[in-house]
Every structure is written in C-alpha cells, then in structure tokens.
Structure 1
C-alpha cells in the first residue's frame, strides 16, 4: 500500500487515475503477478488507496481545525485541504472518489467519506450556518476549495500574482457567503 501511495503521488494529479498494477510492481521491484499475494485486483487497490487518502485528509483537517471556530476554522480547513493536495496530489485525486452505496465493498470508503463530511459540517456549523443549510455550506466550501486546488495543481494560474493571496481571498469570499446563509424554507 505504501508503494502504491507513492506511485500515485509521483504521478501527480493524474497519478490515481493512471495507476496500474504494473507500475506498483515496478516500483516495488517485483513482478506484477507477485502483487496478487497482497491485493485482489486493481479495483480493490484503488478503493484501498481512496480510503487511506480520505482518512489522511480527515486527520489533517481535524488537526487543523481543533480548538478553532467560526471563520478562523473555515480558513484553517481550507488551508489544510490545499496543503494536503499540494503535498499529495495523487492521493488528493483519490479523495474525490465517492463510495457506491450499493456496493458492500465500498463500506470503508463510505465510512471515511462520512467522517470527512462530518468534519466539514462541524466547521461550518461552528461558523453559525443554520442546521438545514449545512449540506449547502459543505458543498459550497468543498467546491470552492477543490476548484482552486485543481486549477493550481494543473498549473491553471499563470499570472505572476501570488497564489497564497488569491487563495486567502477565495476563503474570505466563501466565509463571507457562508456566514450569511439564512435558514431554508
């Protein structure tokens, strides 16, 4: 698993999607058939990578936000996601895989995903977002941060202006919007 995680990250943002058993075997210095002693299939390896990546991201976001609340916690969460994505671009791509609710083998991924959503939900709730708008707030925050991070990893920002300043501005705009969400109908 550790070798596969490294292969995914070395491949950059597309490392997860481009993962092959042959690449993992090569990096491990073994033949591809030898991997079947450790993994059932490429699909199961991908699922295990996704679970591990989501669990790592949950730990990173929880650490970054513990003891914080309100806008400060939202900003810390955004920075933790961005930092994780920059340090582990392939793993970050794996965190975007959603569990299939009809596949029992996806139960660990579903549980990890629920933990990730719980952290995000707690952070936005702590900023005063009404309970009935938490799903909206989580989607807004996740979409904004993911969009920025994806563009950054894909080298989509070529202007010479500082990306950190732009990311902080994005978080300021998201925070300003989230704290004004009114209860739904």
Structure 2
C-alpha cells in the first residue's frame, strides 16, 4: 500500500494521498486498506519513510568516495535529482516527520550521510547541527523556489544559480567559526 501511495503522490501530489484515493488507485474498497495500514497518518508516515530511504540511497551513490566540495555537490545534486524524479515523494519530505519516522533507520541514514559530507570540512562538533541546517535550508529553499517556478522570470539559467549557491555553501562551510569543541 505504501508503494501505491508513493506512486499516487508522484502522479497527483502528496496532498492527494488519502485512504480513498489509494484504494481507488489499487482498485479495492477503502475498508480493505485498513488490513494493511492503521490510518491515514500511518500511510503518510510510510510514504515519508520510503522517501527517506530512497533519498538516502541516492545520496550514498552520489557521495561515495568523495569529500569536501565534491561530496557537497554530490549530496546537493542527489537532492535535486530526487526532487525532480520523485516530486510527490520529495513533497512528503517537506512535511514534519512523526516521531517514529524521525527515529527510523531511513532518517538515521540521511542524517549520517549529511554528517559524513560535513566531516570533509573543519567544523567543530558543536557546529555540525547548525551547518547541517544551513545546508538543508539552502537546498530545500532552492528546490522549493524551482518547483514553484520562481526562477522562470529571469534570463539567467537556474543551473548557474544552483552552482553559485553550492559555491557559497562550500565557502561558508570552509570558513565555519571554530568556537567550541574541536572537530
């Protein structure tokens, strides 16, 4: 049922994933879904966890053997690729995660991969969460603006802006304040 909900999310949007829409998608009665999924929130949590697992696999492939700027670019491009290929699943990742989802192995893997990228920079342990938040905000903000067409009104190619944003992130991470614990 989670896979069917994921297909529906990519086709019609994450907001279109309801118990009845998934039931129609798989051609069963809505009551039949409750044999597989407790309730709507559990269905959405399952989609969110699936998206985290898929994103983690995409990131892992993109950053294998890389460090520093190359790893950051692989990490960022993995997010951009996933957002483009799986728009409904990407949208699921933009919603608050349930506690179980936030503590899931899939979420842990994304967090571990994020930290692995940041290890390529001299960021003290006390700054890693802040650096991860900066990277996430930059990538998610850019991808959200891309999705809404906000960059369509200027002649400059969004790919150039993406590259400039990653250059700026790399510079910010390379010059991270060294207060607090050593890295």
TM normalised by structure 1 equals: 0.89
CA distance in 2, matches of 1:71, 1:161: 23
CA distance in 1, matches of 2:45, 2:134: 26
Say whether 1:71 aligns with 2:69. Answer: yes
Higher mean C-alpha deviation, range 128-137 or range 145-154: 128-137
Assess if the C-alpha contact under 8 Å between 1:21 and 1:42 holds in 2: yes
Return the match for 1:161 from 142, 152, 156: 156
Residue in 2 aligned with 1:8? 9
Higher mean C-alpha deviation, range 129-138 or range 63-72: 129-138
Residue in 1 aligned with 2:103? 110
Superposition pairs of residues 14-53 of structure 1, within 5 angstroms: 15-53=13-51
* RMSD (Å), alpha carbons: 1.5
Relative to 1, partners in 2 of residues 1:73 and 1:175: Cα closer, same or farther, differing over 3 Å?
Answer: same
Assess if the C-alpha contact under 8 Å between 1:47 and 1:109 holds in 2: no
1:154 Cα offset (Å): 1.5
DSSP-derived class of the 1:126 partner: coil
Residue in 1 aligned with 2:60? 62
Relative to 1, partners in 2 of residues 1:25 and 1:100: Cα closer, same or farther, differing over 3 Å?
Answer: closer
1:98 Cα offset (Å): 4.1
DSSP-derived class of the 2:15 partner: coil
DSSP-derived class of the 2:16 partner: coil
Q: What stretches of structure 1 move > 6 A for 4+ residues in a row?
A: none
Assess if the C-alpha contact under 8 Å between 1:70 and 1:128 holds in 2: no
Return the match for 1:122 from 116, 122, 147: 116
1:67 Cα offset (Å): 0.3
Residue in 2 aligned with 1:142? 136
